[in-house]
Amino acid sequence: MAAWWSEVCDMFYLCFVREDRYKLLVSGIGVTIKVSLLAVVLGIIIGMLIALCNLSKNRFLRTLGGIYTDIIRGTPSVTQLMIIYFVIFASVHWPKWIIAAIAFGINSGAYVSEIIRAGILSIDKGQTEAGRSLGLNAYQTMTRIVIPQAVKNIFPALCNEFIVLIKETAIVGYVGLMDIQKAGDFIKSATFQAFMPLIGTAVIYYVLIKILTLVLKRVENRLRRSDIR
């Protein structure tokens, strides 16, 4: 047992302490958080716009929203990332993490749009009719009556999408970004040790997602307070 523990400590020192390799993971955490946060914001904005297109009575908007959703959901996220980085933004000198966040935001928008669309459709039509009878126009009815009620219904699904998005960012190494996963791979290549870097990477992702889950749970509980009678 003592020999095994000594070996584990030696591997830990080699992988994370020696040559300050832990700094790679710390830097990778920052990259992952930046990409994820911007992607979440873009995903919500794009998802809301596409959801409204899919719910629109305008045939062109519905077709546009349907094509976008079909293409994004029908192709791998890593392929989308590489197309956006190496083709669409090839001549744009923006920071890599911003381009990666745009790619993930576009990808997430397709899934968020379906979540939002389902949430809006879950609200009884009588709510819309009540709003219109009070003199509100379609925009006011949607933003002041329908969407606030839909948010509580779709929030758990949105939380799940955000968690999935954080894990999906592990592929940003394909465009040269040093995120958590890429940092772990670099340590693995430098030390020829696979166990410790992979376990360390898994633990970091788990802690990040656990913290996010707890925060989102508190937000959801606040949203549900009005349901308690």
Instruction: Give the chain's domain count.
Output: 1
Question: pLDDT by residue (tens digit) across 155-214?
Answer: 888 889 899 999 999 999 989 899 999 999 999 999 888 889 999 999 999 999 999 999
**d(C-alpha 27, C-alpha 120), whole Å:** 40
Could you tell me if residue 8 is inside a domain? no
- At residue 65, the pLDDT reads 93
| Cβ–Cβ < 8 Å for 113, 47 | yes
Could you tell me if residue 85 is inside a domain? yes
| Cβ–Cβ < 8 Å for 84, 99 | yes
- At residue 23, the pLDDT reads 92
Could you tell me if residue 58 is inside a domain? yes
Could you tell me if residue 12 is inside a domain? no
Could you tell me if residue 7 is inside a domain? no
pLDDT of 12 above 70: yes
Q: What is the CATH number of the domain that holds 167?
A: 1.10.3720.10
Residue numbers of the domain that contains 122? 23-227
Could you tell me if residue 13 is inside a domain? no
pLDDT of 226 above 70: no
Could you tell me if residue 49 is inside a domain? yes
Question: pLDDT by residue (tens digit) across 95-132?
Answer: 999 999 999 999 999 999 999 998 888 888 887 777 87
**d(C-alpha 33, C-alpha 219), whole Å:** 19
| Cβ–Cβ < 8 Å for 108, 42 | yes
- At residue 39, the pLDDT reads 95
pLDDT of 229 above 70: no
